[in-house]
Each structure stands twice: as structure tokens, then as C-alpha cells.
Structure 1
Amino acid sequence: MTNVQIEKFVQQNYLDKTPVKVSFRGRKPIVGIFISTPDYSELKAKNFWRIVGELNIESYRKSRDMNLARMFSGSEITKLSAP
């Protein structure tokens, strides 16, 4: 997917809030939240996204620790949907 497609979906009340099912090309889908970090604009321009997996969402919401997120390339994402 392109960064424009992903941003349009994420900006619909999903950024830092609601978990999303993210399907990938060549790997299993994950459920997680897209997070906004100080480098969000720079990463978005390069089609990279920080996603906190569902196992770490509660810890992230308490601590806001960016290290709980993993970075994914938007070109590997095939579909975004509400879980």
C-alpha cells in the first residue's frame, strides 16, 4: 500500500487509539495500533510505520515507550481493517 492509502485509513480515528488488523505480503497478519512519534512525518514520507502489537498495547498506553513498537514498511502491507 502507499503511504497516502495508509495515512487515510489511520487518520480515521485509528492513530494511537483503536487496534487495526494489518495484513502483509508474505507473512501472517498482526493486530496492533499505529503510533505517532516525533519522527512520524519523516517515516510516513518514506512509507514506514511504527505499530505496537496487541500484546504490548496496554504497556504502551501506560508508559508511552516507543521501544514497544516495531517498524514496518508500507509497501509490504496489503490490507488494513478493524479486527
Structure 2
Amino acid sequence: MTLHPDPHLALVRPVQPLTPEGCQECLLLGSPWVHLRLCLSCGHVGCCDSSPNKHARRHAASDGHPIVRSFQPGEEWRWCYVHEAFV
């Protein structure tokens, strides 16, 4: 079986976190989060699926930016929300 790279990787760009201090929407709402994800298309910082508001997933769906990287110290993995898989 041949594995093919995720086609959404073409959307990955060099980015800087827009809100390095935390989830962009949670900071505005005063809401807590569990872990953070960095959008690799635009630099949006959103909260993970274990967080009450799941802003990273919402951003991926609304903006068409499916690839995120963990924004947790020491973690380097990437995730595609469309394929629900590590990339």
C-alpha cells in the first residue's frame, strides 16, 4: 500500500501566532481552554477539542484552514481536521 501525503499540506504557510498568549476567541470571551492549536495557514491560535468552545476546529471549518500544529511547549505534531489524522 502506498501512502499519499495529505493534499491539505499545500495550505501550510510560515506563520506567526496572532495571540501567543492564548486562544484568540477565549481571550475575548474570558473563557478557559485546555490546550492550544496553531493554524498553519494564518497563525490563528485556538483551543483544542477538549476545551469547552473548540475554537481551533471552528476556525478550520469556517476559514478553510484544516492543518494545525500543537501550540503546547515541546509538542511538534500536526493534525488535519478534514481527514481527522496526523500529518
Structure 1 length as normaliser, TM-score? 0.30
More strand by share: 1
Higher radius of gyration, 1 or 2: 2
User: Which structure exhibits the higher relative contact order, with contacts defined as CA atoms closer than 8 Å and separated by 6 or more residues?
Assistant: 1
Structure 2 length as normaliser, TM-score? 0.29
More helix by share: 1
